[in-house]
Structure 1
Amino acid sequence: MRAAAKELKQVAGVTVRRADKTAAFVLINTEEYNEKLDAILGDLTKFERLTSNPVEDIKREANRTIKAINAATNAIHLPMISGDFRPGYLYSNVKTHKQGNPLRPIISQCPTPTYQLAKRLNAILTPYVPDRYCVASSAKFLERIKDVRGEGVIASMDVESLFTNVPVDETIDLIADRVYRDEKTPELNITEQALRAVLAICTKRAPFTTHCGHVPTEGWRGDGLALGRALCQLLHGSSRGEGLLPSRVPPCLLSLH
């Protein structure tokens, strides 16, 4: 199958992408694919077009913040960023299970200077994720619903492009409240100002490039990408998650997976 997909990529006017949530490949007209991708990037509340490569500036800013954090505490050590880096890249899987076959945008941050830093922050913040609304797997969700009694319905809510719709500033505020003003959470030996700064670098300065077919276009920046999963869990694990529900009647069980 991979060999066939590779061969089909050479066909003019055809883009080969994976189907979302399945191992199948999808053949989509390249013009249609690019139009759908342009529609996603057209939301300038989520994305900003860049005119220069910001990677070296991000690297320097991140290292200044890391150096200050490491000098202030011995409890947590963040590695300095060294080496050559480049912007991440955007690609999309096709949601064949939804009407109109919309795209699921995926932005790989692996080649960026803050990728490893974001992974380290994710590990640091994981103990602060409330488990009231979050489940780690489908198996854990099934365990939870076994304890639910009474009548009702099970509903699944779908969020379009979840990671890019997370309100980053609001979520950083929630993280700060959870870490520094919640008596039930463990102490973190990083100042609030420093944590906010490093979170902002990893979430609000995420450069990437796009591809129309195989031709690189101009660079872009998107919010909340490198720490998308952690931000979602911390946002919806808080009481803010209740605000997603249209009903005034609280549910017996609300879970984010």
Structure 2
Amino acid sequence: MIYTGNVKRHKPNSPLRPIISRITIPSYGFAKQLCNIIIPFIPKKYSLKSSDSFIDISHSKQPQGILAPLDMESLFSHVPILPTIEIILNNVYRHLELHPPKIPEEMMKHLLLAYTNKAPFRSPSGQLYLQVEGVAMGSPLGCTFAEFYMRNLEKSYKTPS
């Protein structure tokens, strides 16, 4: 059997990270629709739109605040699902400027939980597995959950006076 993947050069013995497409799984389309609904509510305060923005800030003669990169090992699979769903719901249903979606909050909570917790996927050999921790790599909700979680973490950090 031939496996496709990316080599993890930063890890001992350079293991292979398998690439498993989730596009063929029926829940993929629904998860993508949920993303389209909640993405506009991701806090923008601590984000940059492009690498050009980063370059502009780093070359600024009067920088404001502290510029520090955050990195989290195995982020997608370590995003805590239940706390992140609460972060998302808080941003979506209590946003100061945007109107919440027409989906009731309790239903949104159930949908986010259904498409992240124990999400099924097939290995390259066809074996069915369940994602039991964090959000599955390749899920449309993976990056979105990671962004909400990290933005909340950044917001909670207080700069020294």
TM-score w.r.t. the length of structure 2 is 0.77
Number of paired residues? 155
One-letter identity of the residue aligned with 2:145: L
Instruction: Trace 1:31-42 onto structure 2 (pairs within 5 A).
Output: none
* Inter-partner Cα distance in structure 2 for 1:224 and 1:136: 24
- CA deviation after TM superposition for structure 1 residue 188, in Å: 1.7
Aligned to 1:109: 22
Say if 1:102 and 1:155 are closer, same or farther in 2 by CA, change over 3 A: farther
Residue aligning to 2:151: 237
- The residue that corresponds to 1:130 in the other structure is 43
Q: Deviations over 1:46-90 (max 9, x none)?
A: xxxxxxxxxxxxxxxxxxxxxxxxxxxxxxxxxxxxxxxxxxxxx
Structure number with bigger Rg: 1
Contact 2:41 2:91 in 1 (8 A): yes
- Provide the residue aligned with 1:228 in structure 2: 142
How far is the alpha carbon of 1:180 from its aligned partner? 1.3
Cα deviations across residues 125-172 of structure 1 (Å, max 9, x unaligned)? 11101111223432232234344736x996544322221111111111
How far residue 190 of structure 1 moved from its aligned partner, in angstroms, is 1.2
Q: Is contact 1:105–1:161 with CA below 8 Å preserved after alignment?
A: no
| Residues 91-138 of structure 1, C-alpha deviations (whole Å, 9 max, x = no match) | x31122x14224445442101111111111111111101111223432
1:5-30 Cα deviation digits (max 9, x unpaired): xxxx8xxxxx675xxxxxxxxxxxxx
Q: Which residue pairs with 1:149 in the alignment?
A: 62
| 1:180–1:94 CA distance, 2 compared to 1 (3 A) | same
Q: Which amino acid aligns with 1:237?
A: R
* Bigger relative contact order, structure 1 or 2 (CA pairs below 8 A, ≥6 apart): 2
How far off its partner does 1:204 sit? 1.3
Q: Name the CA distance, whole Å, in 2 between partners of 1:16 and 1:113.
A: 23
Residues in 2 aligned to 1:148 and 1:167: alpha-carbon distance in whole angstroms: 39
Structure 2: which amino acid aligns with 1:116?
G
SS at 1:208 equivalent: strand
Structure with the higher fraction of residues in strand conformation = 1
Q: Give the CA deviation at 1:184.
A: 3.0
| Paired residue type of 1:196 | K
Distance 1:104 1:142, change over 3 A: farther
172-181 or 156-165: which moved more? 156-165
Sort the Cα spacing of 1:198 and 1:16 in 2 relative to 1 into closer, same or farther, 3 A: closer
- Contact 2:20-2:123 at 8 Å conserved across structures: no
Tell me the TM-score normalised to structure 1 length. 0.51
Query: Is residue 161 of structure 1 aligned with residue 74 of structure 2?
Result: yes
The amino acid across from 1:208 in the alignment is: F
Q: Please state whether the residue corresponding to 1:126 is helix, strand or coil.
A: helix
Q: Structure 2 CA distance, aligned partners of 1:102 and 1:233?
A: 26
Counterpart residue identity of residue 58, structure 2: I
